[in-house]
Structure 1
């Protein structure tokens, strides 16, 4: 529990208006009470998941042994959906008090549609609806990737009153399209008679992967000027994204929806684990502090920030001009940020597809082993 004199970095971050979400979920974390402890002790108010997280969870330990035994003989696709939605439902129940206390803003748990559908609008919408209904909790969010095909899926899913976490956003141009898709979705939801107050949405803007890609390109250039720009692209890109967000929530279009009770689609800083060991391990938290955003952290980043994170007030507002100058300096080295972010989107979808395949393989192996043991018994 927090108190007025709480000086924990995570509490100070929360007081600065940043919602801390955990970028991880597993049955072991739920069964041991670890998630509940993180809510109580490290100010965690939400959870995000993705295929990589679930693949790692299913491939570690024996927490899913009883579930696999129960599902032995089940189609692997159905088994994966059952296991992941059960985990998300239980996590949503753990976070329900936060959801209620924050009036449907936090206390959210995200589950992603099958990444193999990232280029298929129709099936993405159908899967989003099924996941929403299967989990059956108002504080779940359905993750939809911000591919070109994902944009209309975002609008159509929101229009049905379903909360959406838009994922795999790398470029400012695509982010602006996401914001437009979100507004259109809320407008259609209102026309469809849905209560806008309960429809949550976040836009997951990826951070560290941008630095990893741009830094590699700067190192190929190899000049002193180029090398001095390493570690600058991701923060600058995110700060420009926040400026784009502020433009939209300052518009008359948003004002009309807000007047009808709608929540803003908060920027969510994703991929905040530092990939370069030369950088401060809390870099993508310390430098992106501003009220009204979410920072979703893997466990290692959360632990690091809880130990020695820095909160010196707002580090984002008013930084757009400097951020634009940094991006311009990087592009002056012959590096196209548009090309980098387009490649990162393609790679992101491919990585999640690979994780999904691994999840299916691990689950199938577990189902087979359970069936064999059941037969032997």
Structure 2
């Protein structure tokens, strides 16, 4: 049965959060945005990555420039990169504190603040695990982002085994989502077999639906493929719905998370399921301002005709939508993976530049 949230003066997002098991996370660790998302819309989680951290620092440089200078004095031999990552850690700890009430209330399932491992470590599983363990010790409610690459799948299992709550990132396809969930299960099973302490890990597997849409559009344009207008906007949604169905049927102990918003469907089409939606704060404002209806639609399939057209005309969609569409080795070369890793690496470089401009200002 479909339930529609009635129009009222109350936030559409908050009403949806109260009615459905689908929960809202804020796709930013900026403390001011997160505080508003919690208070106005009922957010119970948040995330950070190099792009988000760079944006938060540059928008609040009056706050962070003096702190960067202080960190440099406290750590006189630290590199620009090390100072930049110290800022990311502090930003994350501040945001994590705002989420502690939700963490306590949910027994650890929600109230999580995601910290991303350094993308420059993406080829080294041991380094990813070591950093994940360290980040997990910054605050009790930290959840650590590890990419769904061939190296990342290894690191996800090992970090889970070491007691780290995981948020899988750089993930765009059903195959990546399923293999990541399996890796988390293997890590948890290893803990159980050794009698290690058990608790609510709250792990999530992100599927970056909007970035999948972006890649499919770019791939189709390169191949000079034209399909009906609007069909690409359903591709990421279709992959998210399919991944959620598989997770539910198989009882995976992680949840699907919808991220990288490009349209409101990546929120409105996923309501009603036990999963996480994580829009940027401005998307939350726009969804609320436009009173987008919140309906139980997670099990409503995407129009089969749209799926058929995408499968027939856009080969990259088949790779993303089919559970066996990619091998683990192919995760590394999938177009959306390459594009996103490069963007994260470029954001790291830009954060280094911000630190450099504070410590060695141009004359």
TM-score tier, shorter chain, comes to 0.7 to 0.9
The 1:75–1:178 alpha-carbon spacing in structure 2 relative to 1, beyond 3 Å, is: same
2:157–2:187 CA contact under 8 A, matched in 1? yes
The 1:217–1:155 alpha-carbon spacing in structure 2 relative to 1, beyond 3 Å, is: closer
The 1:355–1:246 alpha-carbon spacing in structure 2 relative to 1, beyond 3 Å, is: same
The 1:168–1:229 alpha-carbon spacing in structure 2 relative to 1, beyond 3 Å, is: same
Partner of 2:165: 163
2:122–2:152 CA contact under 8 A, matched in 1? yes
What SS does structure 2 have at the residue aligned with 1:110? strand
Deviation at 1:217, TM superposition (A): 4.5
The 1:334–1:53 alpha-carbon spacing in structure 2 relative to 1, beyond 3 Å, is: closer
Q: Which moved more, 1:323-332 or 1:174-183?
A: 323-332
What SS does structure 2 have at the residue aligned with 1:109? strand
Superposition pairs of residues 1-377 of structure 1, within 5 angstroms: 7-14=10-17, 15-26=19-30, 30=31, 33-60=32-59, 61-72=61-72, 73=76, 74-133=78-137, 135=138, 137-218=139-220, 221=224, 223=226, 226-227=228-229, 229-249=231-251, 264-272=253-261, 274=262, 281-317=263-299, 319=301, 322=302, 326-337=306-317, 342-369=334-361
The 1:147–1:222 alpha-carbon spacing in structure 2 relative to 1, beyond 3 Å, is: closer
Distance (whole Å) between structure 1 residues aligned to residue 166 and residue 234 of structure 2: 30
What is the TM-score of this pair, normalised by structure 2? 0.85
RMSD: 2.4
What is the TM-score of this pair, normalised by structure 1? 0.82
1:221–1:333 CA contact under 8 A, matched in 2? no
Distance (whole Å) between structure 2 residues aligned to residue 149 and residue 70 of structure 1: 36
The 1:339–1:362 alpha-carbon spacing in structure 2 relative to 1, beyond 3 Å, is: farther
Distance (whole Å) between structure 1 residues aligned to residue 80 and residue 230 of structure 2: 49
| Ranges in structure 1 where 5+ consecutive residues have no aligned partner | 255-263, 275-280
What SS does structure 2 have at the residue aligned with 1:328? helix
Partner of 1:277: none
1:120–1:149 CA contact under 8 A, matched in 2? yes
Deviation at 1:231, TM superposition (A): 2.0
Distance (whole Å) between structure 2 residues aligned to residue 21 and residue 75 of structure 1: 32
Distance (whole Å) between structure 2 residues aligned to residue 45 and residue 120 of structure 1: 32
Deviation at 1:315, TM superposition (A): 1.1
| Ranges in structure 2 where 5+ consecutive residues have no aligned partner | 1-7, 321-330
Deviations along 1:41-67, one digit per CA (max 9) or x if unpaired, are 221111101000112223333111221
